[in-house]
Amino acid sequence: MSVSNQQNRRWSIFLVVAVGVFMSTMDSSMVNIALSSIMREFNSPLRETEWVVMIYLLTITATLLFWGHLSDRLGRRRMYSLGMFIFAGGSLACSYSPRLGWLVFSRLIQAVGAAMMMSTGPAIIKETSPPDQLGRSLGMIGVAVSLGLMTGPFISGFLIEYYSWRSIFIITVPVGLLFGLLAGKVIPVSKKQSPVPHKLNWRGTICWTITVTLFSVAVSHATAPAWSTLHILIILAAAIVALSIFVRMELKAVHPLLPLHFFKKWFFSSAIVSSILSFTLLFSAIILTPFYLDRILGLPSSNVGLIMMAIPLSAIVIAPCAGWMSDIFGAKLLSTSGLLVSTSSLFLLAGLTPETRPIHVGYMLALLGCGQAMFLSPNSASVLARVIKEHTGASAAMLATARNLGMLLGIAQSALVFSYYFSKLTGGLDMKDVTGDNVVQFMTALKYAFLAAAATGLLAALVSWLRERDDEGGGDQQK
């Protein structure tokens, strides 16, 4: 094959992978804007409506590592193409959902497809890019992520205002079907990772899924009137038992789903923990702010989307500078500073009032985006630069899992704190019952939810500051 044909082939592969990344990230940011409209149509409480987002993140968190292992056996092309088709099918089911339960189930199907694409996309890029162009290719995939996050709120706000929240799912159906077919044509067959593929860790996958699900159910239903404290404690106890069983199985497994021995290195565990807490903070703001803009300020959906774009827009501007600065100052200083900047934005958001101008909300969210960009790239680089080549893929998968787990916890934490205080102050009402008579109670509950997120940010900054400097320790090589 000529050099020109090889380059065209690589660009075709890159385009297919980038579209999948763009579509899955855009979908996530679109649905956050749509939650208020979904709650209004189905007249559902916050603790139930939030599962439209939670089930997506929970499914990805629980299955991401599994699909990565399975792609070693079935091949990247087959896994990626099938994931694209499943995502498109789930999108179609979402758009025609007659009830909230059907929508949540359809989002689960979507998430399965997204997880299959997420687990194989970076590996496809790595296998098809020349070694001297790998960083550039992965950097371009990062641009696709940022573009998806940026355009999602704007597109979602426009479609919801002029059509319906259902239309945000319909637009991804033809794109998913088309690029699912293209993936089967342009992505090459993967080389076998080993002559005899290792057995799939089914028990570990099931136990990890049960652990994450039980914990999410307990937190999201902690304020439900029908659930007593005893019910919640029983579910939390079951989650802890499942987690302990999972850890014991993984320590004995020949091919563990989650390489727990990585956590013996403080540079790795501190980066993972601070990443989880960072995204917990981020998604607390992402979930609650649109409700404030819609229910309190009364903004149209298109304007809500524009204001929420401040987070990814500022992040895409700061991220390249953060990567350059981390090479000079190291991850410890820059990542910790980024977390403190993000935390300061949550303290500012806690001071919102019904008279706050929308542009000022945008400034606060932009500050949050800047802080996240300062944290994320240096934090990821601090891990990937210090592990040996054989552990790069597993480390990258762990960072992705930590990211999604943090998002999941952010949704659960923000909904729990807001629902608790709002219900307590209004005698049992939910966010769906917000009217002009309980604006004060809404703002009080919102303040406590943002303060709880800020406390999470301070904890994340502490963990990040206690990490080793980049010139300390021997990383993976010391093993």
Q: Are residues 298 and 433 in the same domain?
A: yes
Do residues 295 and 442 make contact, with C-beta atoms less than 8 angstroms apart? yes
pLDDT at 477: 46
Last residue of a domain, one of 148, 178, 194: 194
Q: Are residues 78 and 179 in the same domain?
A: yes
DSSP string, 202-230: HHHHHHHHHHHHHHHHHHHTTT-TT--HH
Q: Are residues 1 and 59 in the same domain?
A: yes
Q: Say how far apart CA 432 and CA 295 lie, in whole Å.
A: 9
Last residue of a domain, one of 230, 252, 274: 252
Q: Are residues 91 and 130 in the same domain?
A: yes
Q: Are residues 125 and 235 in the same domain?
A: no
Q: Are residues 113 and 6 in the same domain?
A: yes
Structure tokens at 62: 């629980």
Q: Are residues 448 and 405 in the same domain?
A: yes
Q: Are residues 413 and 380 in the same domain?
A: yes
Last residue of a domain, one of 217, 252, 287: 252
**pLDDT string in tens for the chain (479-residue length):** 555 666 666 777 777 777 777 787 787 778 878 888 888 888 888 778 888 888 888 888 778 777 777 776 677 777 888 888 999 999 999 999 999 989 999 999 998 988 888 777 766 766 666 665 555 555 566 567 767 767 777 788 888 888 888 988 888 888 888 888 887 777 777 654 444 455 666 777 788 888 878 877 776 666 565 566 777 788 888 888 988 888 888 777 776 766 677 677 777 788 888 888 998 998 888 888 988 988 888 888 778 888 888 887 887 777 767 666 766 666 778 888 889 999 999 999 999 999 999 999 999 999 998 888 888 777 776 666 665 555 555 666 677 777 777 887 888 888 888 888 888 888 777 776 677 778 898 899 999 999 999 999 999 999 888 876 644 544 554 44
Structure tokens at 291: 């409700």
Q: Are residues 333 and 449 in the same domain?
A: yes
From residue 98, alpha-carbon distances to 31, 41, 42, 125 in Å are: 17, 10, 9, 39
pLDDT at 16: 79
Residue 477 lies in a domain: no
pLDDT at 195: 46
Closest alpha carbon to 39 in 288, 218, 260, 338: 288
From residue 94, alpha-carbon distances to 102, 103, 112, 276, 320 in Å are: 8, 5, 14, 28, 36
Do residues 14 and 125 make contact, with C-beta atoms less than 8 angstroms apart? yes
Q: Say how far apart CA 250 and CA 207 lie, in whole Å.
A: 10
* pTM of this structure: 0.75
Residue 475 lies in a domain: no
Q: Are residues 226 and 299 in the same domain?
A: no
Residue 136 lies in a domain: yes
Residue 437 lies in a domain: yes
pLDDT at 365: 92
Give the CATH number of the domain where residue 184 resides.
Answer: 1.20.1250.20
Closest alpha carbon to 28 in 383, 311, 425: 311
Residue 476 lies in a domain: no
Residue 273 lies in a domain: yes
pLDDT at 444: 93
Do residues 109 and 86 make contact, with C-beta atoms less than 8 angstroms apart? yes
Q: Say how far apart CA 460 and CA 466 lie, in whole Å.
A: 10
Closest alpha carbon to 78 in 15, 120, 122, 37: 120
Residue 216 belongs to domain spanning: 202-252
Number of folded domains that form the chain: 3
pLDDT at 194: 46
The count of other CB atoms within 10 Å of the CB of residue 240 is: 13
Residue 375 lies in a domain: yes
Exposed/middle/buried for 343, CB within 10 Å: 0-12, 13-18, 19+?
buried
Closest alpha carbon to 288 in 56, 106, 32: 32
Q: Say how far apart CA 440 and CA 454 lie, in whole Å.
A: 21
pLDDT at 3: 54
Q: Are residues 322 and 228 in the same domain?
A: no
Do residues 81 and 124 make contact, with C-beta atoms less than 8 angstroms apart? no
Q: Are residues 8 and 142 in the same domain?
A: yes
Residue 117 neighbours by CB under 8 Å, 6+ apart: 20, 21, 24, 80, 83, 84, 87
What is the Rg, in whole angstroms, of the alpha carbon atoms belonging to the chain? 22
pLDDT at 103: 93
